Structure 1
Amino acid sequence: MGFSVTPLINRNNRKTKSGLHQIQVRVTINRKSKYYSLDQRINPKFWSGKPDKWVKESHPNSFEINRLIQDQVAAINSHIYRLKAFGHSIHLSSIDDFMRMTGNKQLFNDYIENYLRTEKFNNLNTIKKYKTFQKHLNSFNKEILFCDLCEDLFLRFVEFLKGKGHTGATVKKYFDAFKKITRKAVKQGHLDRDPFYLVDLGIKLSKPRRSYLETDEILQLKNCRLPLDRQDLEDTRNHWLFCFYAAFYYSDLKKLEWPDLVASDQGYFIRADRYKNNQSYLAPIYKFPHAIALVSEQKGKHSKFIFPSLISEPKYNGKLKEIAAAAGINKKLSNKMARHSAVQFWEAQGLETQFTAKIVGHTKESTTKSYYELSLREMGERVDKIDISSLGL
C-alpha cells in the first residue's frame, strides 16, 4: 500500500489580495488525498518546494517555518509507520483522527482531553464520570506517556484513588472509563496492544452502605425550628422533603414539570422519567399531605417547572448540613439521602418490592433490594411478633 506526505502551497493556483497563501500538507493513501493546513501563510516567491528547505532562506522566518513543516511531516509519517507496525489498516480517516488531536500527541492525558471533546456520550452523568476520572488521573500524574501505560501504573492509580477515600465500586467505575479510552487509543494506533490485557487490578467490590434517615429522623427534620431570617434553609428543607416524598434526586426536582403531575382516583402521582437514566417512575405523592401542600404553594410561579430557579447541587448540600445541625441529626444529610430514605421507608412499610421499584424507577427489583437495610428496630418489632415462650428453649 503506497502513501506519501508532501508539503505544498497554493495548490489551486489562486490569487489572494494579501498575496499570502497557506502552507498545507498533502497525505495520499491508495491514490486518495487529503490536505491539512498549517497555521502559516507566506508569499509563493519564498516557496522552494525542496525537502527540508521548503521555505527559502530569504524569508525572515524560514528556519522556524521549515522546522514546523518538518515536525508535522515527521509526526504523520511516524503515525503511519506505527499503524503498519501494529498491524492496523491505514485509511485517511485514521490520519484525520490523528490530526484532530491537539496538544502533545505522545501524552495520554492530552489524548483523554481530545477524547472527551470529540466523543458522543449518551447522558450528562456519563460525561461527569469521565471528566471526574480525568481530574483524578491528572492529579495522579498529568504527564503520562502512552508507553507508560502498564500494570504498575494502573495499580499505583488504584492505591491513589483508595487514598482519596474512594470505595471499590467507585474505583471500578473510573477504571471502566480508563479502559474504554485506552481501547480507543489501541484502535487508533497509539498503542500496539491493550495494556489492560490480563491485568488484575485487585478491586474488591462490596455492597455499598447507603445512608438514610429513619421515619422519626425525617419528622425531626421536618419539625425542627430554623432561623426566621433564613428563608433559604426553609426552602432547602422543603425541597429535600419533596425529594423524599417523590423518591427522587435533586436533579429530578429541577426538571419536574407541571404535566408530570397527574391526577388519579386516589390523588396526585408524579409520572416522569428519571434525569439519570431516563427510566420511568410513578411516585404516589398523594400519600403525603405535605407534598400536596408544597405543590399548591408553587402554582402560578412558573408556567413550565414546578420548582423553578433552584440552586446548584453543591450549594444545596451545603445548606442541608446546616439544617441537619439545627435538627440535631448526626448523619451527613445530602441530596441522595432523600431517595435512599424513601426506598427504606416503603420497604419498611411492607410495600412489595415490585411497587417500590416502580416508585423509584428501578428496572430490576434486586437494585431496589440493595438500597434496603433492615434496622435493629424493624428486626426487633418483627421478631417480637413470634411467640416462642412455649418451646422451652
Structure 2
Amino acid sequence: MGISVAVKYNWRKELNKSDCYQIDIRVTIDCIPKYYPVKVPQKIPIWDWSGDAPLWVKNTNPFAFAVNNEILRVLGVINDLQNRLFLQKRKLNFHLLDRELGFTGNRQSFNDYFRNYIKNPPELVKDLKDGTWEKYTSFLGHLDKFNPRLRFDQIDVEMAARIRNYISRQPGMKKGTKMAPASVKSLFDKFMVVLQHACDADKLIEKDVVDDIAKKVFVTVPDRQDGLHWDVIEIQNLKKIPLSALESSQIRDRKLFLLQIYGSWYYSDLIYMRRSDVHIDHEFGIYVAGARNKNEQPRLVPLWKFPEAEAIMKEFEDPDPKSSYWFRRDAFVEGQTYNRNLKVLADMAGVYREVTSKTARHTGMTLMARMGVQYPALKKIAGQKIRDIGRTYIKMGIREIVDATELAQFDKLGI
C-alpha cells in the first residue's frame, strides 16, 4: 500500500517496424497503476532509450534535452502536489493528479489558475449553468485586460480593491453609463470564489490574506429603486389592449411578459426553464419547481393562482417531448428586441416609466407581497435562499405554499 512513481518506456510491450515507442509516467496508488503519457515531439527509438535518470533518453537523440526536461517537469508536478497534500494532511488520488497534470500555464499565475478553474472545475461546481460560467469567463476577460500576468504573491487587499475598481469603471449596458453595481458584485464574487479555492485546495495564497480581502473589499449594491413595478391597474390596462392594435410579435411578448409577472421571473428564467421543472398537481394545477438557472436556488411557483398562466405555458410549449426545455426556442427574441416591444406595449397601456424584461420580476414579487404572501414563501417562490432566525434552512413544499398563498386571490384582480 502507498504511492510509487516510475518512468516507463513501451510499458505495453508493443512491437513495430520502427522500434519507436511511447514514454509514460506510471503512478501507483494503493497497488492501482495509472499511466500518464509524456508529451514528446516524436516517439523515441529503442536504441536511444537508456532508462536511467536524469538522462532517460540518450544524447544521441536530437530531442533528448527536451524530452528529459519534460519528464523532469512532470515528476516535479507530481512531487509538488504530494508535498502540498502532505501539508494539508490529505492523500494523493487520481482525480487530484489528473487535474494537476491537466493544468496549463504557470501555477503561480492567478490568470492561468482562473483559466484552468473554468476549463476543469472542481466537482462541487461542475454542474453550474452556462450563464454562471459566462460570468466566470467575463471576469477572466476583465482580469486579462487589467493584468494578464497577475501572480498570487501580488494579491492583497489593495490589489483586490484595484481589481474591483477597474471592473466598476467598465461600460454599462446603456451608452454613456458604467457597469451596474449588481453586475460588478456578480463578477467580483467569481474572483473571490476562485481565490478561496486556491487557498483551501491548493494553498497558493494565505488564508489570512483571503479573509482580509473578504472583510475589507466588497461591492455595495444600492437598494432597488421603489416604483419600478407595475400596479394592478396597469397590468389590467395591458391586458385590455385589443388584438387588432397589436402585431403578432407584440401579442406573443405581451403573453410572455404576463407569464413573467405570474412567476416573478426574469426573461432568462423562461428561456432556460426545463421540461422537468413543470408539474401538474392533481388538486391545485400547474406549478414550476426545480432550481433557477441564475443562482441554482430551488423554487416553487404556484402558477395555479393565475387563471391564464396554464394556457400561456401550453401555448409556447415545445412540441418535441425530447426537448430538455419547456418552451420552444422560436418563442424568444434578443433581449433588446423584447425590451423594445415591451416599451411599445407599456405606452399603449399608459405606463410611461422605464420598462424592461426585469420589470416583470419586480412586479410579480411586489404583487405577491401586496396580496399577503410573506417570508419565507415569498423567498421560495422567487427562488432565493431561505433561512430562519436560527440560521437553519426552512423546508417549503406544496402544502406550505398553498397555505401561504391562500389569501392571495389573484383571479379576482382580473390579471
Structure 1 position 343 matched with structure 2 position 360: no
Indicate the SS of the match to 1:158: helix
Query: For residues 43-87 of structure 1, what are the alpha-carbon distances to aligned partners after superposition, in whole Å with 9 as ceiling and x for unaligned?
Result: 221112344432223324333333433433444445556666xx3
User: Hey, what's the Cα distance between the residues in 2 that align with 1:342 and 1:22?
Assistant: 63
1:120 corresponding residue in structure 2: 123
> What is the alpha-carbon root mean square deviation over aligned residues?
4.3
User: Which amino acid is 2:253 matched to?
Assistant: T
1:144 corresponding residue in structure 2: 150
Match of 2:195 among 162, 174, 182: 182
1:218 corresponding residue in structure 2: 235
140 and 302 in structure 1: CA distance in 2 versus 1, 3 angstrom threshold: closer
Structure 1 position 153 matched with structure 2 position 159: yes
129 and 153 in structure 1: CA distance in 2 versus 1, 3 angstrom threshold: farther
Match of 2:265 among 219, 236, 248: 248
Structure 1 position 135 matched with structure 2 position 135: no
User: Hey, what's the Cα distance between the residues in 2 that align with 1:299 and 1:317?
Assistant: 23
Give the TM-score taking structure 2 as reference length. Answer: 0.68
User: Hey, what's the Cα distance between the residues in 1 that align with 2:232 and 2:376?
Assistant: 22
User: Hey, what's the Cα distance between the residues in 2 that align with 1:337 and 1:348?
Assistant: 16
Give the TM-score taking structure 1 as reference length. Answer: 0.71
Indicate the SS of the match to 1:191: coil
CA contact (8 A) 1:263 1:269 kept: yes
User: Hey, what's the Cα distance between the residues in 1 that align with 2:73 and 2:198?
Assistant: 22
2:10 corresponding residue in structure 1: 10
CA drift of 1:159 comes to 0.9
Match of 2:298 among 275, 278, 283: 278
Structure 1 position 65 matched with structure 2 position 79: no
CA contact (8 A) 1:279 1:363 kept: no
User: Hey, what's the Cα distance between the residues in 2 that align with 1:365 and 1:92?
Assistant: 37
Match of 2:279 among 260, 266, 272: 260
Indicate the SS of the match to 2:329: coil
User: Which amino acid is 1:324 matched to?
Assistant: K
1:334 corresponding residue in structure 2: 356
CA contact (8 A) 2:198 2:204 kept: yes
* Bigger share in strand: 1
User: Hey, what's the Cα distance between the residues in 2 that align with 1:32 and 1:258?
Assistant: 42
Structure 1 unmatched runs, 5+? 367-393
Query: For residues 155-179 of structure 1, what are the alpha-carbon distances to aligned partners after superposition, in whole Å with 9 as ceiling and x for unaligned?
Result: 1111123223455555454444333
CA drift of 1:126 comes to 6.0
1:107 corresponding residue in structure 2: 109
311 and 111 in structure 1: CA distance in 2 versus 1, 3 angstrom threshold: farther
CA drift of 1:273 comes to 0.3
CA contact (8 A) 2:22 2:37 kept: yes
2:341 corresponding residue in structure 1: 322
% identity of equivalent residues: 22
1:54 corresponding residue in structure 2: 56
User: Hey, what's the Cα distance between the residues in 2 that align with 1:168 and 1:149?
Assistant: 22
Indicate the SS of the match to 1:118: coil
2:174 corresponding residue in structure 1: none
148 and 134 in structure 1: CA distance in 2 versus 1, 3 angstrom threshold: farther
Indicate the SS of the match to 1:110: helix
User: Which amino acid is 1:147 matched to?
Assistant: D
The number of residues matched between the two structures is 358
User: Hey, what's the Cα distance between the residues in 1 that align with 2:234 and 2:356?
Assistant: 14
2:168 corresponding residue in structure 1: 162
Structure 2 unmatched runs, 5+? 171-177, 389-415
